[in-house]
Structure 1
């Protein structure tokens, strides 16, 4: 999640400025960039426990990881004197509520640069973590930690969310402290282009969920899901999650999305280094200077930017589109998520083909797909086939889109299609990361989850 804002700008005069903020994200295709984000669980290798923020004695803490990375050239971002994020060359490292470490990558031009960035970050993280007896794991849900096992990070926004979440859903706390994801942020050239990409992204997000399914355990036992992380979003907060059927309504665009965001209850306002609890209050009232938490004050654009980050739908619009449906995963699959969506959305021919695939789906079709995939993954039935059949077609379209980009790596003469290899294998075998772990759990690991830390450590 985001680090604290650093600039406020001028107070917002009215709703049109909010619309213009989103519109300002439009850019020509030659300026489109790729921003990849991924989270991972951090644990001590001797007892497989999550790290607290502060270490104690010989026991390391998350702060030690951040300070170790700072020694490699990252600049700390402080909150109340504590390093809670790092930044360097357009990248950010931030902390999720339970100490999950997130890389928010710089906007880069192609998938080769994305994968180089991911590899460099993970190599640095390993360089810092190993001497401390710390490991990192990519999964969608912590395989054996209980809620009460996970320490909370000292970030003010999380205190507000922690109090609010139980009012609106039963799994929001689990979302905060026991989940990890990988996502990609992509650009659009116009409002019409944004709308088309938004619709394709929403419709096909369950396919990404199925391909990257990697959260089959809860507290050491199979939980009946292949993507329990995806299921968690169904009982987190109905105001700010879901498939947003209005995106498919005629006339949808920036203004309609702004209207939607204005109706989502707020969490907080950031002022003078502090997060002020405004949970459940209205941004519309804030625009009119009537926010109970700050009577008489009007919002700055930084407040709007903050508020946009507190929505958690399957696809999220800011000045770019975020594809949010995938579980965190192993090192070899992190570059596959941006490859999938770049292939689908960054070639006009591929985008047309993807839209042709989904344009006759009803809201009931899209919701049914979203509902069934967390449990059944690629085996889920859909129309006259399965999600695996659908995934094959989606990968064909993505492959075509990457081939048309014709962007070579400069070293081995390979184009960006190489990053789809892991997904091709998943579709060919029908075995997702979750299926693989469940198989090994029953056949190799004596129905224990502890071995997976050794097998899948970064």
Structure 2
């Protein structure tokens, strides 16, 4: 989730609908300027007892963040509390229960992306050694109850935690217990955005399946392969899901603005403080009738904030965010951007990927989204097949797209090697969660503490 650093009181008031469309339209870039932004979260735990460290305890989350200053990171504060570190590689920030996130810099190729990931992991592991902390690459805490987890001192999280139980049963689980990998990608025009949005939304269940890595809840198998994905099904229906309107004829920026105007607000940020506006309407805000700030109208920064508070499977801001994957280890962090860059950043690959899924009906897409958290690659798809049947074909399209990009490292390798972790999953038909379950029922003999052997 985004980290605000200042009140933008000097930015313009929103006085026309054009200003609501502007963030998306300004995101248009020629292909030569397309970049890759990768985000990944990790669970932080104390080696001594596997507990999640609190923010303020000695050797806890705050101390870990500040220690990253040795690598050139600069503190970002909220109300005198360090809540993130900013640097050349992006921002290191905190999710609600102290999950550590790197929101990486926009980079030209996957070689740079994976090098950035490697630097970050080396730095946090070095700091973790000092404080007796380690990091777990999973989609969800395997053994913690909500009550066992700390809450970080960020104003927006307090508002969200109050609001989540009003609109769903699992929103607090989403905030406190889950981790993800995401990638942010560019588009050249409104038509290019629409095609990429549709293609990535239709294929997001395949990414969820390939990265499924959250089969345990509170120490036992939970019956799912991606429980993290299942959690989103009852978090807040007004700001999640598969967005059927994206597949409508003529979909574009205006339609997404209409969707966002119907997404209830969480907050307004003023003078360094988050003001609770949960459940209130941005349409009322435009008319100066927001109960949280009566008589005041929104500024452009308020709209940018609001765009960050919807959580569909794919999200549009000034770029497209792929949101379907569970957290995982280093090689799968690099594999997710490779998957989507390969499919979306080459026109031939994009056309081929869309041709695979364009005939699916919306109810079929919804059914697939609902089945994947439990069945992963065994989920049924139209035509009497399973999702795993098309996984090799989709990966082959992604590989062709990466080959066509022809981005080489100093050794002469292109970007296709970053798909190898997914090739193995597709070939075996066994997703990461199923391997964890095999270990749990086999060599671990039901001892969930063995999962901590999966540390970075």
- Provide the TM-score with structure 2 as the length reference: 0.98
| CA positional deviation for 1:381 | 2.1
State how far apart, in whole Å, the 2-side matches of 1:15 and 1:139 are: 41
Matching residue of 1:15: 17
State how far apart, in whole Å, the 2-side matches of 1:332 and 1:359 are: 30
Q: Deviations over 1:300-343 (max 9, x none)?
A: 11111111111000000000000000000011211000000000
Matching residue of 1:418: 417
| CA positional deviation for 1:452 | 1.4
State how far apart, in whole Å, the 2-side matches of 1:225 and 1:42 are: 23
User: Equivalent residue of 2:275, what SS?
Assistant: strand
User: Equivalent residue of 1:71, what SS?
Assistant: helix
Matching residue of 2:455: 457
User: Equivalent residue of 1:145, what SS?
Assistant: coil
Q: How many pairs are equivalent?
A: 453
Matching residue of 1:226: 225
Matching residue of 1:382: 381
Conserved? CA contact 2:289–2:296, under 8 Å: yes
| CA positional deviation for 1:71 | 2.5
- Provide the TM-score with structure 1 as the length reference: 0.98
State how far apart, in whole Å, the 1-side matches of 2:21 and 2:238 are: 20
User: Equivalent residue of 2:312, what SS?
Assistant: coil
Alignment of 1:64-83 (within 5 A): 64-83=63-82
| CA positional deviation for 1:233 | 0.1
| CA positional deviation for 1:393 | 1.3
Q: Deviations over 1:99-153 (max 9, x none)?
A: 0000000000000000000000000000101121100011111000000000000
Coordinate RMSD, CA, aligned: 0.9
Matching residue of 1:435: 434
Q: Is residue 25 from structure 1 mapped to residue 27 from structure 2 by the alignment?
A: yes
State how far apart, in whole Å, the 1-side matches of 2:298 and 2:348 are: 41
Q: Deviations over 1:377-431 (max 9, x none)?
A: 01222232211112111101101100111111112x2110000000000011112
Q: Is residue 45 from structure 1 mapped to residue 44 from structure 2 by the alignment?
A: no
State how far apart, in whole Å, the 2-side matches of 1:73 and 1:5 are: 18
Conserved? CA contact 1:105–1:117, under 8 Å: yes
Conserved? CA contact 1:86–1:93, under 8 Å: yes
State how far apart, in whole Å, the 2-side matches of 1:444 and 1:379 are: 25
State how far apart, in whole Å, the 1-side matches of 2:49 and 2:270 are: 40
User: Equivalent residue of 2:242, what SS?
Assistant: coil
Q: Is residue 308 from structure 1 mapped to residue 302 from structure 2 by the alignment?
A: no
State how far apart, in whole Å, the 2-side matches of 1:295 and 1:90 are: 40
Q: Deviations over 1:187-231 (max 9, x none)?
A: 000000000000001000000000000000000000000000000
Give ranges in structure 2 of 5+ residues lacking alignment: none
Alignment of 1:131-142 (within 5 A): 131-142=130-141
State how far apart, in whole Å, the 2-side matches of 1:256 and 1:179 are: 30
Matching residue of 1:396: 396
| CA positional deviation for 1:14 | 2.0
Conserved? CA contact 2:343–2:397, under 8 Å: yes
Conserved? CA contact 2:5–2:78, under 8 Å: no
State how far apart, in whole Å, the 1-side matches of 2:279 and 2:240 are: 15
| CA positional deviation for 1:5 | 4.3
User: Equivalent residue of 1:334, what SS?
Assistant: helix
